[in-house]
Amino acid sequence: MRLVEKWWETEHSLPPGWKEARLSLRMHGESYARRAAELLGPANPVRSGLRITLYTAQHGAGIGPKAVARLLTRLDEEGLAGELELLSVVEGDTAHTGSEGWLSDAWDAALAGLPEDWSDLYVQLTLDSSDYLDPAALAIAPLNPARARETAFRFRCARLFGYGAAPQMVRRCLQRLDERGLTGSLEILRALSDTKPVGTQGPVWYVGGKSV
C-alpha cells in the first residue's frame, strides 16, 4: 500500500471532529529517511534515525490533512518506502467535522440526496487551485470530463445505461483526487429520473446551444 493510501485510510478512521493527529513514519533505509525528511519539510517533521514524526491539524497550528496527502504523494512518487502509523489523536467537537472534506465522501452525500430512481446526472467538479488542473484531468480521464471554466470540469454520470460514467467509476476517480490531495467541490447541475430511452443511448442536455 502506498503511503498516501495508508494516510487516506487512517484519516477516514479518525473520530468525527478530531483536532490534531500525531503520525510516525518509519522509513526502510537511511537514504530514504533523509530524503523523506527533506520532502516533508513543510510539515516541520522531527527525525530520529529511520523514524520521522509529524503533526496534522484540522485548524490552527500544523498542516492540514490534505497537505499531508500531497506530501506523502511526493514520497510515493520517488519510491521512498516506509510504514505510516497513527501515534495519537486529539478529539474535538463531534458536531464539527472540519472544512476539508473528501471528494469521494461528497459524492456519496450527493447521491444520497437524490431520488431512488435517478438515472442520469450532469456534474461539475470545481478545483480549489488552477495548479490541480493537469493532475486532476489525468486522474478523472475515465469520466470524459470537459473544461467548464478556469478551475472546473463537467462530466456525465449514468446509473444503468447510456451516456456517462457509472457512479462507481465516478467515486473511484474522485478517490484518486483525494489520494493526491487535490481538493475541490462537487455540484450536481442537472438530474433525470427513471428515463427509458427508445432508439437512443440516453438523454441529451443542451448547454449554451451545445449538446452535452
* Number of neighbours of residue 121 by Cβ within 10 angstroms: 22
Q: Does domain 3-90 have CATH number 3.30.70?
A: yes
Where do the CATH 3.30.70 domains begin and end in the chain? 3-90, 103-193
Global pTM value: 0.55
Written as tens digits, the pLDDT of the chain (212 aa) is 899 999 988 988 888 778 888 999 999 999 999 999 999 988 888 899 999 999 888 765 568 888 888 899 999 999 999 999 999 988 765 433 333 568 988 899 889 888 888 888 999 999 988 888 898 999 999 999 998 877 899 999 998 777 889 999 999 999 888 888 788 889 999 888 877 666 566 677 776 667 66
Among the four given CATH numbers 1.10.20, 3.30.70, 2.60.40, 1.10.3470, the one describing domain 103-193: 3.30.70
Q: What is the pLDDT of residues 21-57, one digit of tens each?
A: 899 999 999 999 999 999 998 888 889 999 999 988 8
Q: Write the CA distances from 158 to 2, 77, 109, 161, integer angstroms.
A: 31, 33, 17, 6
Q: What is the pLDDT of residues 166-175, one digit of tens each?
A: 999 999 999 8
